[in-house]
Structure 1
């Protein structure tokens, strides 16, 4: 018996029908079925939450103690979904939060543009917030599908964290200080006689360790090493820890300072603002934590300031080149602006800096015509039928319009620019004194206020 499915368009599609669809119709069918999966997940969420209510009422009528109301619901959910009781409890918790605290996310699932997994990510990243703040993020991100159009899971997580840091900056800073005591290293088995060795480290140490390994991989690949980037990083880690007396075997470049790029607004760095900062390769961090990180680097003379934007209205520093390749400064700017691969829904790290419009079609080598891509996406865009065009979104952000071989279009918007400037001071001398005071007393950065005479 052939399987039959009904899509959001109301058309029943069987196995024989799929074989007769054109390329364009196949793409549309895949999208329709994806929306159907999201709608089915929303229905499961509502049924799960309702099951909890019904069982609790039955337990109350039976005279069970209040702390026993609802016992066994998670197991029933697990049985129905053919999953473990632990996963059943997670599904139950998700259903209760979505139906009671995050109505916009649930509505997005019903509409078919938010999957159950992405809803789970939003619930997880807002778990530490109050009900009021959680509902605010829910409304900001999930009211309109255009808000998160093209975002990968990592981008969604980072945006939710950024808003959470902004809404509750002091609590997040206190938690980050306390979390350093939880650092540890663990090991667990992996398939094919391999192992996962994980280290939970403070962000400044973790990012620095990763940067050292990444630099080693870049150096090895540049000198013709046939190993993959991951293999070089793994080999360097093992060689550094187990054979420190033989550094030549690690294929590492000469030792020196490790560059960790922190993008932070003027208002956050110099005027006590609460807008989160961004660490390349990691993601958003609370404002107070970022200021402490800058102050520690300054105290050790390890910090360099570089202004990326001419203003906070969306105008970017003008940069271009006559070269076919992006020079180092322009490449760094694109990497800091884009943060991850610009292909919609791809969160892979940036490996290539490429022209939006191919150089062969007179596309200039500039920040506006540049984009950061992972290696796989850069090769994929060279396939016949793929085109892209750089534009600017209504809110001033860099935007890339992508057209697939079937004529379907999607947009990729760059992340928000760091907002805000320092407040206006009566004179440059007053401003300089305020900056020096805030950076000198780095352990009191959030508390220091310099009045203007």
Structure 2
């Protein structure tokens, strides 16, 4: 069956990109010889590709708006709005190969652009980038559609010369002029979105960011900065930045930070590693739960603290799968949930990088799915609800490959825990997870020797 709207958007994309490419080619040919030698042609191609991205993003918003309208017509008014939204966010995320949260951002921008027709037109034409129009839409979110259209008309002539920060500030001034009360509503809404976020960085480091009310966080920062400055003045050899970081870490973890930045963690921090790595027979990488691969030597340091302990997951003879549990149980026991999170702490839905907070059945229990490790899946809360929504289904083949099927019939394979990204912690013998353990004993020395001999 043909889809006229989809064909129109595809044809529009081809026409607009073709025109932009033709204009760029003309500019390349018109450049002087010395400009070409300096790289003028390459610059034109860079600019062209940016224009192509902007055009595609503008038309993508049209496609998202069309998807929204069609899905609502298809499902009818009886469907719960939250279920419909989750389904749309997830499907857009899968189509873009990003998380459902990113899919929601794309969806909301498409909805907002309906009230900013001139900004949307400039995005389709490649005149402004998506960050600029998104900044304007965020600032006008509490205005009624008529006033949003007024802001759009007044601001659009200047957007091409603005970056996201200046566009946001300009839109905010117009919003305050048209509806001062909207500024207060913005602060109320923003406080409801406060959160804490952990982002892995290079070299076994991470960034912990706090999004909260500016007054409270400014006060917290000032307190840490004052204490760091005082300690520095008293002769602390660390820099103020290092002291500030260490003070914050101590306050949040409850553990003292050594001058070199190391911390004696007194709570369970899961590390997945080979027994040989644990006992020093090799230096294969390990996995720190919530972070990812870390050097084997660092994993052993984490395993040598005085307040640490060892947890072992017993596996089947193949060394890769946990022994099965009672298949008749409705809920997975805590040990299985630990194992699933140890194998991959992220949501199993393709391209979702949220934490796996829900451990549930791949084949639902209500449809005969058994409570076994092979049927256990770790997902974020949103995707656990999505896979139970109308038109969604998750299928698993005999080798464990899971496929997500969407209401539009698209299929996406879930490959978490396979290939180079997920193979670092697996071993032919057993998988081990620990927060930390005591220093080596005679028994451990003997086990290390036996493992070394067995591997030769």
Q: TM-score of the superposition, structure 2-length normalised?
A: 0.41
State the structure with bigger RCO (CA 8 A, min sep 6), 1 or 2.
2
